[in-house]
Amino acid sequence: MEKQYKWSREEAYERMGTAERGLDPGEVEGSRNAHGANRLPEAKRPSVAVVFLSQFKDFLVWILLVAAGISAAMGKMESTLVIVAVVILNAVLGTVQHVKAEKSIQSLKALSSPNAKVLREGLKQEIPSAEVVVGDLLLLEAGDFVGADGRVVESNSLQVNESALTGESVSVEKSVEALDGGREEVSLGDRVNMAFSGSHVTYGRGMVLVTGVGEKTEIGKIALLLEQAKEKETPLQRNLDAFGKKLAFLILLISGLVFGLSLYRGNPLMDALLFAISLAVAAIPEALSSIVTIVLSLGTRKLAQENAIVRKLHSVESLGSVSVICSDKTGTLTQNKMTVQKLYFDGRMVEAGGLDLARELERKLLLSSILCNDAVSDEGKQIGDPTEIALVHLGDLYGMDELEARKRHVRLAELPFDSDRKLMSTLNQVDDRRVLFTKGALDVMLQRATHVQVRERIRPIGPDDLRAMEEANHSLSDQGLRVLAFACREFPEQGAPALEDEDGLTLLGLVAMMDPPRLESAQAVADCVRAGIKPVMITGDHKVTASAIARQIGILREGDKAVEGAEIEHLTDQELRERVPEISVYARVSPEHKIRIVQAWQDLGHVVAMTGDGVNDAPALKRADIGIAMGIAGTEVAKDAASMVLMDDNFSTIVKAIGNGRSIYGNIKNAVKFLLSGNTAGILTVLAASLAGLPAPFAPVHLLFINLLTDSLPAIAIGLEPAHGHLMEAPPRDAKKPILDRAFGMEVLLEGLVIGAVTLAAYGVGLSTGSHGVAMTMAFATLSLSRLVHGFNCRMDPPLGLRQFFGNAYSLLAVGLGVLLLLGVLQVGFLRRMFEVADLSGGQYLLVAGLSLLPLLVVQAGKRLRNLFGWS
């Protein structure tokens, strides 16, 4: 038989006032069998089939499919098969990446998966949290997970850690108090008589009447925010989309012109159509989307080696444009572990490691912090309030194990902490004496203390002592430290302590603690500033604490401001946009505030990264251009909402990732230049032949071979080019700047002209033999080989030196494989038939090789002249 409890649900309702809460006991009873009520909203996701079909929405893909259809109608099945295979392969790659990355809201449900202890019909029962309903009585004790929102109806020093919801690392004591004005008018952090789903109990015991489950809980509201938050396209996606539309229009225009010219000259309709198709195939960079995907994928592998796991592929290049990092404090910039920083006693302020245990006062202060303490830290497992765990770790620093100390100095009785008197006391046997150790808030302690210990003696406390203690407390608080005062008194031989015995105390000193910054945070912030990136702290913690941490690591600098969420609550979006540039710290903010802050920076044209680890960070992580979650301390919700997860929870890893993102984008841009300049050469060759009234210089299958095989390998190698220059000393790239600007376009055109000229030269030599087949083969071989070699030109903007030439083994390998593939097409029987090539003589091979090397020499000479004369 289960233990009978004194509380019934009806009595709980009576105590809390059901009318005040808007709960009808009859309705609650009727929902008893509504299993699954405590579930969070499901994310709406497209099926795999829908995702696959969405990969074909690009206009360039439709042009390729139309070209494949026309080729099939003309009996060119080889060209048809190659085009269709490439389009399907690209769609499969995109679908696989989407399915792997898209989890988002699912793990929110996992937060409701642990069991809950409830009181039903006077009996204690353990049920899955998903079956908790409104009106249940939750029984909570240290270590328990809170499975639903509810009103505290009984508290025995109940303390709850709500960091996943609020960002505060300090536990909140819960008490049985009336709400002031209703739940909706009280902020989350001020609801001392409410326990919330997603938090866990760190100390004491209590009973909670469930008032909200599923999406009606605070965590459920965050789930809805997360579902509503829309992800933004990355700069590269926007650039490529805009570029693709312009390129498609240009291709159709030129192809239509060539088709009209062919008909004008009296060519048969099908021949004119084939010529236009050849030009369209030559112009479309079929491998562009695949190459970008591959380069980004390879970039993610490099980032993974440096502890940054990318979940959303295109977010890799967004890193290079990041101009604002909105970072959570707890667990991101800080260690998410309360740590004693300073101690004050006998008029002296010392660091945590500065105690001398040979002195009685310092030894007694340390002993009191361990004995007047319920926390335990054993074999990596920590149980208890974070502030008490910090005191245990202080003892560890001096080799004082809390379990051994408590065994040696047995606790005889205790007066638990409560928020009314702000004190906790324990009665311990110390040698042959009974000693009452007390800790609590200094203002309360000063009212109860009659003596103070200095060095080895105890004397009555005087005005100077009071003033010194208050000044020390003020100084420590201004540094964002949480301060506890410790005192003791000898207790009579008999009897148990009562509340009135917490008087006549001897004050020992103060212990100040905080969640300290990570050791690497200050350097990482400095690196961000040097790279032109604005770091901003957004936290649910107190303003004083947040400002102290931000000032310590360099986020809050001269002229910057720190504000609380309440200050921006009533600002319009326009007013917030005007103020965000001057604000570096946001404290006591809600998930809604975080989204508004991210949105304000985005509206000002910035690319925003948001870091965080808690459930409360998830909506903003999803809304940011790139969300970065902590892998160790982060909740699964935060990880699933993020674009990137840091496996070492190291803020400096973000800086490395941004540097890699800049390098990856530069490599992608160089790969795009390589592809477009080669395609421009093909376009110019076909267009020139058309205008000159010459036969088509290529078969469509020639151009597909060039675009998909000889182009793809060097483009991938360019994507693997090591970082050059001082990437993190330049300002962020302007995300609005198109990938194909005027200077970039001129480079593409000039380099395309050089390659097109040598290709036309080879074609002309071939025509002089009287064989159109030989001319096409020479043009095809020259364009293929010159584009392979042109890959060296596109690896980097500066001239390619000997060290850089051999600095990318992938580039050398790509050219070697490309040459082998080309030789296979020119020499192997079935490949020659498939790719419609003719026999070439040894002299013609040498001519092709010589012409193909000219673009490398010309472009490298041009770069050196540009550097020599300072041409832009």
The verdict on 611 and 695 lying in the same domain is no
**What is the pLDDT at residue 643?**
86
Mean pLDDT lowest for which of 100-104, 439-443, 722-726, 758-762?
100-104
Check residues 13 and 34 and name the one with the higher pLDDT: 13
CA distances from 212 to 149, 618, 709 (A): 5, 21, 60
CB 504 within 8 A of CB 438: no
d(CA 107, CA 91): 28
List the one residue out of 512, 515, 415, 438 whose CA is nearest residue 171.
Answer: 515
Mean pLDDT lowest for which of 388-402, 450-464, 700-714?
700-714
DSSP secondary structure string, 421-470?
Answer: TTEEEEEEEETTEEEEEEEE-HHHHHHHEEEEEETTEEEE--HHHHHHHH
The verdict on 326 and 215 lying in the same domain is no
**What is the pLDDT at residue 1?**
35
Q: With 70 as the cut, is the pLDDT of residue 101 above it?
A: no
The verdict on 402 and 297 lying in the same domain is no
Mean pLDDT lowest for which of 76-85, 460-469, 548-557, 622-631?
76-85
Mean pLDDT of 17-43: 45
**Which stretch, 127-131, 647-651, 695-699, 841-845, has highest mean pLDDT?**
841-845
The verdict on 500 and 602 lying in the same domain is no
The verdict on 212 and 131 lying in the same domain is yes
CA distances from 345 to 156, 365, 368, 426, 578 (A): 32, 9, 13, 21, 47
CA dihedral in degrees (227, 230, 231, 234; nearest 10)? 170
Domain assignment of residue 411, yes or no: yes
pLDDT, tens digit (0-9, with 9 covering 90-100), for 185-213: 445 555 678 888 878 787 788 899 988 88
Domain assignment of residue 46, yes or no: yes
Q: pTM of the entire structure?
A: 0.68
Q: What is the 3-state secondary structure (H, E, C) of 254-277?
A: HHHHHHHHHHHCCCCHHHHHHHHH
What is the domain range of residue 164? 1-228
CA distances from 369 to 400, 486, 487, 810 (A): 11, 7, 10, 61
The verdict on 385 and 439 lying in the same domain is yes
Domain assignment of residue 797, yes or no: yes
Q: Take residue 59 and report the two structure tokens written for it.
A: 């206009």
The verdict on 696 and 800 lying in the same domain is yes
DSSP 737: S
Mean pLDDT lowest for which of 4-18, 236-250, 340-354, 617-631?
4-18
Secondary structure E strands in 142-199: 149-161, 172-173, 194-195
Angle at 736 between CA 733 and CA 740, to 5 degrees: 85
**What is the pLDDT at residue 858?**
94
The verdict on 545 and 499 lying in the same domain is no
Domain assignment of residue 51, yes or no: yes
Check residues 293 and 109 and name the one with the higher pLDDT: 293
Separation of CA 125 from chain center: 40
Domain assignment of residue 268, yes or no: no
CB 497 within 8 A of CB 491: yes
Task: Tell me the residue type at 651.
Answer: F
Catalytically active residues are 328
Q: With 60 as the cut, is the pLDDT of residue 100 above it?
A: no
> The domain spanning residue 560 has which CATH number?
3.40.50.1000
**What is the pLDDT at residue 847?**
96
List the one residue out of 375, 344, 580 whose CA is nearest residue 477.
Answer: 344
CA distances from 514 to 87, 530, 536, 543 (A): 56, 28, 20, 14
Q: What is the 3-state secondary structure (H, E, C) of 822-855?
A: HHHHHHCHHHHHHCCCCCCCHHHHHHHHHHHHHH
The verdict on 529 and 550 lying in the same domain is yes
pLDDT, tens digit (0-9, with 9 covering 90-100), for 313-331: 777 878 888 999 998 887 7
3-class SS at 860? helix
**What is the pLDDT at residue 230?**
54
The verdict on 494 and 629 lying in the same domain is no
Considering its fold, how many domains does the chain have in total? 4
**What is the pLDDT at residue 368?**
96
- The per-residue pLDDT of the chain, averaged, comes to 81
Q: With 70 as the cut, is the pLDDT of residue 339 above it?
A: yes
d(CA 128, CA 130): 5
The helix (H) or strand (E) run that includes residue 754 is helix 742-767
The verdict on 128 and 178 lying in the same domain is yes
3-class SS at 415? strand
- Residue 483 makes CB contacts below 8 A (sequence gap 6+) with 442, 473, 476, 477, 510, 511, 512
Q: Take residue 326 and report the two structure tokens written for it.
A: 């909105």
Q: With 60 as the cut, is the pLDDT of residue 17 above it?
A: no
Q: Which of 514, 541, 559 is the last residue of a domain?
A: 514
Mean pLDDT of 574-603: 92
Mean pLDDT of 258-280: 73
> The domain spanning residue 811 has which CATH number?
1.20.1110.10
DSSP 13: H
Domain assignment of residue 462, yes or no: yes
> The domain spanning residue 493 has which CATH number?
3.40.1110.10
**What is the pLDDT at residue 59?**
59
**What is the pLDDT at residue 107?**
41
Mean pLDDT lowest for which of 124-138, 399-413, 456-470, 553-567?
124-138
> The domain spanning residue 87 has which CATH number?
2.70.150.10
Q: Which of 619, 649, 679 is the last residue of a domain?
A: 649
Q: Long-range CB contacts (< 8 A, 24+ apart) of 452-458?
A: 452/506, 452/507, 453/345, 453/346, 453/361, 453/364, 453/506, 453/507, 453/508, 454/346, 454/347, 454/361, 455/346, 455/359, 455/360, 455/361, 456/359, 456/360, 456/361, 458/506
pLDDT, tens digit (0-9, with 9 covering 90-100), for 474-531: 999 988 899 999 999 999 888 889 999 999 999 999 999 998 898 888 998 999 999 9
pLDDT band at 556 (very low <50, low <70, confident <90, very high): very high
pLDDT band at 866 (very low <50, low <70, confident <90, very high): confident
- What is the total residue count of the chain? 872
pLDDT band at 833 (very low <50, low <70, confident <90, very high): confident
Q: With 50 as the cut, is the pLDDT of residue 587 above it?
A: yes
Beta-bridge partners for 440: 423, 485
d(CA 534, CA 543): 19
The verdict on 665 and 642 lying in the same domain is no
**Percentage of residues in the chain with pLDDT exceeding 90?**
34
d(CA 250, CA 380): 65
Q: With 60 as the cut, is the pLDDT of residue 181 above it?
A: no
Q: Take residue 20 and report the two structure tokens written for it.
A: 């005040």
Domain assignment of residue 476, yes or no: yes
List the one residue out of 629, 416, 492, 483 whose CA is nearest residue 170.
Answer: 483
Check residues 775 and 295 and name the one with the higher pLDDT: 775
Q: With 80 as the cut, is the pLDDT of residue 52 above it?
A: no
Domain assignment of residue 249, yes or no: no
Task: Give the pairing of strands 322-327 and 534-538.
Answer: parallel
Mean pLDDT of 357-368: 95
**Cβ neighbours of 22 (radius 10 Å):** 9
Q: Which of 649, 677, 711 is the last residue of a domain?
A: 649
Task: Give the pairing of strands 348-351 and 339-345.
Answer: antiparallel
Mean pLDDT of 382-404: 91
Mean pLDDT of 440-467: 93
Secondary structure E strands in 482-577: 482-490, 505-514, 534-538, 561-564
pLDDT, tens digit (0-9, with 9 covering 90-100), for 747-796: 999 999 999 999 999 999 999 998 999 999 999 999 999 999 999 999 88
**What is the pLDDT at residue 23?**
47
